[in-house]
Amino acid sequence: MRFRFGCVLFLLVCLLNLPAASAQQVAATPPMGWNSWNHFAEKVNDAVVRAAADALVSSGMRDAGYVYVNIDDTWEGKRDEKGFIHSNEKFPDMKALADYVHSKGLKLGIYSSPGPKTCAGFEGSYGHEEQDAQTYAAWGIDYLKYDMCSLGEILAKNGGKAEFRQGMLDAYKKMHAALLKTGRPIVFSLCQYGLYKVWQWGPEVGGNLWRTTGDINDNYARMAEIGFGQAGLAKYAAPGHWNDPDMLEVGNGGMKPDEYRTHMSLWAILAAPLLAGNDLSKMTPETVAILTNREVIAIDQDKAGKQGDRFWAEGPDEIWVKPLADGSKAVALFNRLDEWAGPAMMKVNFRDLGFTGAAKVRDVWNAKDLGSLEKYEVEVPAHGVVLLRVK
């Protein structure tokens, strides 16, 4: 009897504790850092990554929480006769690069695909999952973005929808098991563009974050399509498991400051991973200010780990709300109308948000306490935002 009780206890510990512990060991809050793709794409190399690491430190971004330095696609070289992957000529020594990044108090991320080829046509991990995980761990990698790419073609040939879905889950599970086996904590980032409602099964395959959509672009229309399109996904986010509406475009030049503030505010409300995607070595003070605003980051990184959601919408005016650990709420008023239409007057009644009596209200981007209010009416610029923290 005692033996059986022991078994049950052991199983319970395994079932309840282990997966939770491994997920929360990393990504207890949405991962923050930088990724090479949005700005550098195939032009990423060792020097670019070192410069990004240097800039994370000198700009104050590291101290604001941006710690992952993530190399995206196009680092991959050939496999040797034993099947081990090597980096290509752009990355002469991955271990030395990891040591450099680590010496700055940062972490290094890498990219691969469960298919034979990555999206840019480089070597994927198909059939080499364990070897690749071992290689990453030996280099000192802390984060893996695993991008479906060519696996889709294989799965599409091999059966119907159910087989496709299962094949995808199996492929992600396989790499997750390989990563766990290394014993190194490695954030596991799923990238399969939101297919088959990944938010419903992302945690089951070991994902710490999962892309919910196709790729972002550096323009308001695409950013807004993705960001506002996250409505309804809040319940799937939790410490260790995040919806990922793709990397930031802040500072890449295609949007106006109001639009980048909308981008950053929306991602913070969504408890989205904050992976800067710009050239960190050439930032305007305004870009640095948007990326490093501590109060906005605090909303994103709030330890309750609750994703916000759309609270109200009337045409192009939307109010989104995120509950925070100290009982406050982050409240974002967005005006989605184009510039020709001008600013919008927007109103929020704090009673509707569950506050009784007057609430203490702070305008986050203007770093200004607005006092104790029952409601607030404010002009919101076209494509812009007013972000409030209400207690």
Residues known to be catalytic: 147, 215
Phi and psi at 122, nearest 5°, equal: -95, 180
Residue 120 or 304 having the CB closest to ligand GLA: 120
Q: How far is CA 329 from CA 33, 234, 332, in A?
A: 25, 15, 10
Min CB(72)–ligand GLA separation in Å: 5
Determine whether 278 is exposed, middle or buried from the number of CB atoms within 10 Å of its CB (0-12, 13-18, 19+): buried
Binding mask 108-147 for ligand GLA (x = CB under 6 A): ----------xxx--------------------------x
What minimum distance in Å lies between the beta carbon of 88 and ligand GLA?
14
Strand partners of residue 310: 320
- Give min distance, CB of 246 to ligand GLA, in A: 7
Please state the closest distance from residue 203 (CB atom) to ligand GLA, in A. Answer: 20
What DSSP character marks residue 241?
Answer: B
Based on the shown chain and the rule CB under 6 A, indicate whether residue 249 belongs to the binding site for ligand GLA.
Answer: no
> Which of 189, 292 has the CB closer to ligand GLA?
189
Q: Which amino acid is it at 307?
A: Q
Q: Is 37 in the site for ligand GLA (CB under 6 A)?
A: yes
Q: Is 72 one of the binding residues for ligand GLA (CB under 6 A)?
A: yes
Amino acid letter, 320: W
In this complex, which beta carbon is closest to ligand GLA, that of residue 194 or of residue 251? 194
Binding-residue total with ligand GLA (CB under 6 A): 9
Distance CA 374, CA 388 (A): 13
- HEC-encoded secondary structure of 211-233: ECCCCCCCCHHHHHHHHHCCCCC
Task: Report if residue 376 touches ligand GLA, rule: CB under 6 A.
Answer: no
Tell me which amino acid residue 178 is: A
Least Å distance, CB 73 to ligand GLA, is: 3
How is 150-179 classified by DSSP, letter by letter?
Answer: THHHHHHHT--HHHHHHHHHHHHHHHHHHH
Between 216 and 333, CB nearer to ligand GLA: 216
244 makes contact with ligand GLA (CB under 6 A): no
Q: What token pair was written down for 166?
A: 């299962």
Q: Which is nearer to ligand GLA, 46 or 249 (CB)?
A: 249
Question: What is the rounded CA–CA span in Å between residue 168 and residue 159?
Answer: 12
At closest approach, how far in Å is the CB of 151 from ligand GLA?
12
Name the DSSP letter for residue 123: B
Residue 314 contacts residue 278 (beta carbons within 8 Å): no
Q: Could you tell me which residues come within 8 angstroms of residue 362 by beta carbon, excluding any fewer than 6 positions away?
A: 295, 368, 369, 370, 388, 389, 390
215 binds ligand GLA (CB under 6 A): yes
User: Could you say whether residue 309 binds ligand GLA (CB under 6 A)?
Assistant: no
Q: Which is nearer to ligand GLA, 46 or 72 (CB)?
A: 72
CA-CA distances (angstroms) from residue 340 to 248, 336, 337, 343, 385? Answer: 26, 12, 8, 9, 16
- Would you say 142 or 147 has its CB closer to ligand GLA? 147
CB of 344 to ligand GLA, least distance (A): 33
Q: Which of 191, 296, 330, 331 binds ligand GLA (CB under 6 A)?
A: 191
Q: Which residues bind ligand GLA (CB under 6 A)?
A: 37, 72-73, 118-120, 147, 191, 215
